[in-house]
Amino acid sequence: MRPREYATLGAADLAASVRSGQASAREIAEAALARVDTLGPRYNAFTAVTRERALRDAAAVDAARARGEALPPLAGVPFAVKNLFDVAGLTTLAGAAIERDRPPATADATVVARLAKAGAVLVGALNMEEYAYGFVTENAHYGAVRNPHDESRVAGGSSGGSSAALAAGIVPLTLGSDTNGSIRVPAALCGVCGLKPTYGRLSRQGAALFASSLDHVGPMTRSVTDLVLAYDAMQGADAADIACAQRDVEPARPALGLGIDGLRIGVADGYFHDHAGDQSRAALDIAAKALGAERRVTLPDVERARAAGFIITASEGAELHLADLRTRAAEFDFATRDRFLAGAMIPASWYIDAQRFRAWFRARMHAVFAGVDVIVAAATPVPATPIGATAFDLHGKAMPPRTHLGLLTHAFAFAGLPVATVPIDGPGLPLGVQLVAAPWREDVALRAARALEIAGVSHARVAAGALERGTPPPS
């Protein structure tokens, strides 16, 4: 399979080609590795390549097919993971220089192992913000991840490598993490799809935590169908993660065929309108019209929720890294270090008050779903900002990108709600919308996301430049 042909196919398509014998898993793995070699450095998306493992796992898939065995749903599908997930044999960097000193992981993180069990083939680990603290992935140690749609701009963060690898057609599936928006922001800015599940839905065992009471993990892909395949493969309780709960729910896959008939869809207004730029508002209007959303939803105390989320994030992150802050502060990315140091000085009473407010806010957010099934909101206030930019303009106010590209994502993570993010077609750089559902109703958010694809207003595409540059010259 040629790298260019491979780049345009999604996870479901590649798995089907392996099952049918149109392509071998090894051919697909080699095509993926060729694009890692060609484009990984260009966009600075990868920090490690698991070449030997990829070829070994692909050979195992081909051997199973040769024996006539039924293949799992992601058989032969290449994937890569944010480098905060444990991968056996690799040191888990979490975007930090300090972590280089740690020994390699001895086992895969639970979600990585579950994808591998489903037949997916791991090809590498991906660049990210240090300790997942920021929305731009301009990493002082490993360099900035470049957006494949415009290499002068950020890919978003903190899962910047995860979104760039998809937009460049290097892999059709990646894993990211989301504490305050770190799946949804880069997905929107790179024009791909992402799912932040309900807090506690997917195991975080083997993932380097940032703020334990807020951390989520989830898949990123170039289609909603592929999101569903990956999400279903990773589900299930895990005793190694006390937050990972078992729920009696149907897999998301059957829900995709149900459309949105009967779903009550509302558009977030108030804070979410005020903090979206003109381009983001236009993208939201397209999505709302396609979904037939006529209701308006005003969410309670969103600015207080964002402030409380900052207190919890900084406090929990600082506590986790306190020993290194005391003895190795100079080795942190300065932008991360200063915020962790500030977090270490937050009074305990502030943290307790923030968590108390969070319980109230979560209950109020849950009550909103008595009147709607899905809330639609813009994913970012503006498109991707230039690498190195210190501010973007939002209705006449200067906003720092590292912290404020997530203006519209914090509240939904604070409440632990499931959110699917998809791109919306339009001129210029990519933009996306969030589709938010009640707790444990990922299937509803994904139905709405799929409806936007069916309506023809949402397409996650490989960046044109990445297709051309990823094609090796004739031999």
**Residue 326: which residues within 8 A CB-CB, separation 6 or more?**
none
| Active-site amino acid positions | 82, 158, 182
Q: Which two tokens stand for residue 281?
A: 């508002």
Tokens matching residue 232: 């279903």
Cβ partners under 8 Å of residue 20, min gap 6: none
Closest CA to 446 of 279, 175, 260: 260
